[in-house]
Structure formats: structure tokens, C-alpha cells
Amino acid sequence: MTFDMTTNRAVALASAVGGMLLVFAQDVYPAWSGFHAWQYTAALTLAAIAVVGYALGARKGTDGDVGTRIVIAAIGATVVIVAGIASGLLGPDTETVARTPGTVAPLPDVGAAGFFPVADPATIERGDAHVEIRRRDGSSVDIPPGARRFVGTTAIETTPEVAAYVEARQPNGSRLTITQPQNTSFLSPVLLFPERVPIGGVVFPADGFATPAIQRQIKAFYFSKAEVAKSTHGTPGKEAVLLAVDDENGKLIQSGIGIVPSGADATIGGIRFRVAAGTYPALLISAVPYPPALWIGGLLFVGGLAYAYSYARPVAA
Amino acid sequence: MPRYLGLVAALVALVAIVFTVKLYFGASGPPASRLAGGGGPAMLAGAPAQSYPVKTLDGATAGLDRYRGSVVLVNLWASWCAPCRSETPALERLYRDERGKGFTVLGIDQGESTEAAGAFAKQMNLSYPILVDEDQRYGRAYAAIGLPTSLVVDRTGHIVRGIDGELTLAQMHEAVDPLLRARE
């Protein structure tokens, strides 16, 4: 064994450990876009070249008995690194899937469908809706708010997004149908505020809906608790929604603008509104390395190292 | 190192790598035709029809599942919707003609009060069952992109067709007659 081979072994082991840590990082921070960048793939490729290059030489005995035995660990590291390269190169970019309550979203990259549960006003205010992922084989995975689950080669987590459940009534109490012509879910009373609109230097989540029975179009802006605290309107400690009521021509009607605190009633532009503001989950879907490959590769690496150093013959004096 | 150990490790590694890479090319979801969201009611053909308990005009609670075993023409409507008003006489006629054959029309009002739905039913002299879905759950689950929206549900509770817009009596017959004949 030469000094050069000892150095090569150290470089190979460092590359293996570094590469594997980079791959395992995908499971810890799966949404980071850097995993799909060429620099990430290049770093893993260099690590794989260092490991495989060393292993090819060591297999022939150029690094003595330890080197011959360490080939198993090198194979394990290569499996993990290739799994990381495959995920970074071939896995889809991180995607957010938001749907209204009571609808289903196809998730082709997962080979499953996301079932967004029906949510009443109280559920929106509490923000505790769970999303269910159903796979083709009939199995399902429940994802509570803020949790992350691994399904095949994807990590799926729920992120709370601002939402508001809106009820609209005529002055006599008769309920009005809510429609969202610009939304994929036309008949939904739940606003998901997909737009961001700057007002007075502050960016507010914004959405819109209509009450076709009385030909009104309503713009809605979400006020967080922090924004409510800064303003003179709303109820401190509660979210609120600012509503602006337009006629069928898009012209603001008289007394057609006001703030509705969450859980309270307010009459704006002749319509009695009740709003429950809070959150509803969206799915954040990210590619991750295939878990069995990580397990197999990790076990081969650890087992291979143990085998190499436990059974290595002492160097003859 | 025994030669077989290296070979086994290499083989395991090769299988793991090939399987891992193949996974990214093999991922595929459920058929889009069975999922709601963005495609309109026509995309729901073949999917199980969702049922939610909502109010009836007399204040009781019922859902679509009450009619399991019958062919059901589900009609989502609202009293302010002019095409809904226009197609209502044809729905009533279809119901009266075919109700003895294990068939019903089920009108589901979207987002209005029981009073408004009841007043409309009385004004239009409707005899088919009406549900009042104040929270518009059926509209969301059935991917309505407008009103009226109609769905033909077979005796096993699966959606056969989803149709956006107003239907004539002939179009209604065209949609439900094959299912009614299948029983005869």
C-alpha cells in the first residue's frame, strides 16, 4: 500500500460521505430548487467518479486487503449517489397544488390523487383540514396540517394557505349562490386568494367572486391578524377580509366597500356577508431519492466499511 | 474478499439503480377522466357519485345515496339561473314519464335558502325531489363549470355522463334511456 493509495482511499471515502450527505439532504429539505440545478448533479457526479475510480483500482488489490474489502462500501455509496442524481435530474420540479375543499386533484408525478376534504367555516378558521393521498393500488396516506409524508419518489407536505369561507345573504336573510367564474371550482364559497395585490405599500392576498342572483361582483382582500392590528378596522386578534362590491358593469356601488372580521356579519353594498377566515392546506410536492435505494445503499456502505476494517489483516512488520 | 460477496453487492446495486431510474419514467396517476377539478362534469364519467347529506324542502336531511338502485338524473340548479328555469319543464316531464321504471330526477339547488328553492319548485309546479345544498358541496364535487349541470348516475351509484348546460327533453332521453332499457 502506498501513500498515494491511502490518499485516494481518503478522497474516495470523503467523496462517498459528502455525496451521500448531499443525497440525504433531499429528504430533509425536499423543496429546495437547488436539487434540480446542474451544479448539484455535477457535484454528485464528481463524487461518484471519485468513488468508482477508487473502487475499480482497489478491486484489483492496489490498496491491499482493506481496499479490496472496501469495494462493497463503494458500491453502496454509488447506489445512494445515483439515486440522488436520478431524483435531481429526472424528478419533477417542486410543485404546489392548491384546490378548493371537496375536490380531487390528479397527481401524475406521484401516481396518485389528492382528495381535498370538504371544509365548513369552523374548519377553515381552525385550519386543521387533512389531505388524503390515494394511490392506484387503493392505499391511502393521510397528511395532517404541516406534516410531510413520503410516497414513492416524492415528498408530499401540506402547507397552510390563507382561505376564507364566504356566506352572502340578501337583507331578508335569503342566501345567495356564490360563484367563482375565474376559479377552477366554479361553485365554491371558499376563496383561496391566489393573487397578490399591493395596496398602500402592503401586499395583500386577493380573490374575487360573484353573486349572480343580484348581479354583483365582489373583490376580496385577506387581512392577516398583523394587518388587522395595524388598521383601525376589524377585530384585534382575528383575521378579516376586505370586500369591495361592484355592479354588473364592474363599477363600485355606494357603500360597497368594508371589512368583515372573521366570524362576524357585516352588510356591504346591500349584501349581508359572513366570513370565516383562516387557512386551508395546499400540497407541496417534491422529488426525493427512491427510499429503498437509500436504505440498500446506506446499509451496503456501513456494512462494507465494517467488513473492511474489522477483518483487515494487520500489516506485517 | 471472497469473489461472490463483490458480485452479490454489485448485482444488488445494479438492480437498485435500474429500478430507481425506471421509477421516474414509470410514474403515472389515476385516469384523468375519473377526477374532478378543471375539466368540467364530462370528465367524471365512470367515477363514483359523491353523496352529501343536505336539506330537503320539508326540512329533513337526505343525499344522493338515498336513491341508490335507481337511475338518477342529478340536476344542479339555482332559481336565478335562466337556463335552469328554461329546462325545468322538460325535467318534470321526463320524471313523470319514467318514474315507474326505477328512475328519478333529483334537483339540487346550489347555494340558496330552502325558502327560495321551495318558492321556485312551487312556481314551476315540480314534483320531483329537490335538495337544498347551501354550501354548494355537490357543485364542487361534480366539477360544475356553470349552471345548470346534469349528471346521469346508474343504479350502482356511478356517474355515466356529466353534462354542462341546458338540455332538451330529447337530449335527456338520449342520456337516460339506455340505462332504463338495460333493466328491461
The answer to whether residue B2 scores a pLDDT higher than 60 is no
Q: Averaged over A212-238, what is the pLDDT?
A: 89
Q: State the Cα–Cα distance between residues B107 and B122, nearest whole angstrom.
A: 13
DSSP state for residue B50 in the 8-state scheme? P
Both B50 and B127 in a single domain?
yes
CATH number at residue B168: 3.40.30.10
- Sequence-separated (6 or more) residues with CB below 8 Å from residue A218: A168, A208, A209, A210, A211, A243, A244, A245, A246, A271
Confidence at A152, pLDDT banded by 50, 70, 90: confident
Could you say which residues from 20 to 39 on chain B have a Cβ atom under 8 Å away from some Cβ of chain A?
Answer: 20-21, 23-25, 27-30, 32, 35-38
CA-nearest of A41, A168, A183 to A98 is A183
Both B21 and B77 in a single domain?
no
For residue A312, give the chain B residue with the closest CA. Answer: B1
Q: State the Cα–Cα distance between residues A32 and A25, nearest whole angstrom.
A: 10
Q: Averaged over B145-164, what is the pLDDT?
A: 95
Q: At what angle do helices A3-28 and A291-310 cross, to 10 degrees?
A: 150
Both B25 and B5 in a single domain?
yes
**Which of the two residues, B34 and B135, has the higher pLDDT score?**
B135
Residues A170-211 pLDDT 10s: 999 999 999 998 877 899 999 999 999 998 889 999 999 999
Q: Grid cell 366570513 — which residue?
A: A275
The answer to whether residue B113 scores a pLDDT higher than 70 is yes
Identify whether the C-beta of residue A74 lies closer than 8 Å to the C-beta of residue B1.
no
For testing contact with chain A, the best of B135, B145, B149, B159 (most A CBs within 10 A): B135
Q: At what angle do helices A71-90 and A38-59 cross, to 10 degrees?
A: 160
Identify whether the C-beta of residue A212 lies closer than 8 Å to the C-beta of residue A177.
yes
Identify whether the C-beta of residue A224 lies closer than 8 Å to the C-beta of residue A205.
no
> Is some CB atom of chain A closer than 8 A to the CB atom of B11?
no
Specify the pLDDT at position B34: 37
Residues B20-67 pLDDT 10s: 665 665 544 433 333 334 468 888 899 999 999 999 999 999 999 999
For testing contact with chain B, the best of A68, A177, A301, A310 (most B CBs within 10 A): A177
Average pLDDT over chain B, rounded to whole?
86
Both B25 and B74 in a single domain?
no
Both B73 and B2 in a single domain?
no
Specify the pLDDT at position A187: 92
- Sequence-separated (6 or more) residues with CB below 8 Å from residue A10: none
Specify the pLDDT at position B5: 62
Both B124 and B172 in a single domain?
yes
Both B71 and B124 in a single domain?
yes
Residues A85-96 pLDDT 10s: 999 988 889 999
Query: Residue B148: is the preceding peptide bond cis (ω within 30°)?
Result: yes
The answer to whether residue A116 scores a pLDDT higher than 80 is yes
Pairing of strands B130-133, B103-110: parallel
Give the type of residue at B41: P
Percent of chain B at pLDDT > 90 equals 71
Both B75 and B109 in a single domain?
yes
Residues A231-289 pLDDT 10s: 777 778 899 999 999 998 999 999 999 999 999 999 999 999 999 999 999 999 999 99
Q: Which residues of B touch A152 (CB under 8 A)?
A: 23, 27
DSSP assignment of A223-254 equals E-HHHHHHSSSS-TTS-EEEEEEE-TTSPEEE
Both B138 and B169 in a single domain?
yes
Q: Is the Cβ pair A87, B36 closer than 8 Å?
A: no
Q: Grid cell 409524508 — which residue?
A: A149
Specify the pLDDT at position B1: 54
Read off the C-alpha cell for A78.
454509488
Both B96 and B139 in a single domain?
yes
Specify the pLDDT at position A316: 52
Identify whether the C-beta of residue B159 lies closer than 8 Å to the C-beta of residue B152.
yes
Q: State the Cα–Cα distance between residues A293 and B12, nearest whole angstrom.
A: 10
- Which residue in the set A78, A82, A111 is minimally distant from B28, CB to CB? A111
Both B24 and B69 in a single domain?
no
Q: Averaged over B103-117, what is the pLDDT?
A: 97
Q: State the Cα–Cα distance between residues A293 and B15, nearest whole angstrom.
A: 9
| Residue-number span of the structural domain to which B171 is assigned | 38-181
Give the type of residue at B20: T
The total of structural domains in chain B comes to 2
Identify whether the C-beta of residue B55 lies closer than 8 Å to the C-beta of residue B63.
no
Specify the pLDDT at position B25: 56
Specify the pLDDT at position A310: 85
Specify the pLDDT at position B36: 38
Q: Averaged over A27-44, what is the pLDDT?
A: 93
Could you say which residues from 93 to 112 on chain B have a Cβ atom under 8 Å away from some Cβ of chain A?
Answer: 110-112
Q: Averaged over B159-163, what is the pLDDT?
A: 95
Q: Is ipTM > 0.85 here?
A: no
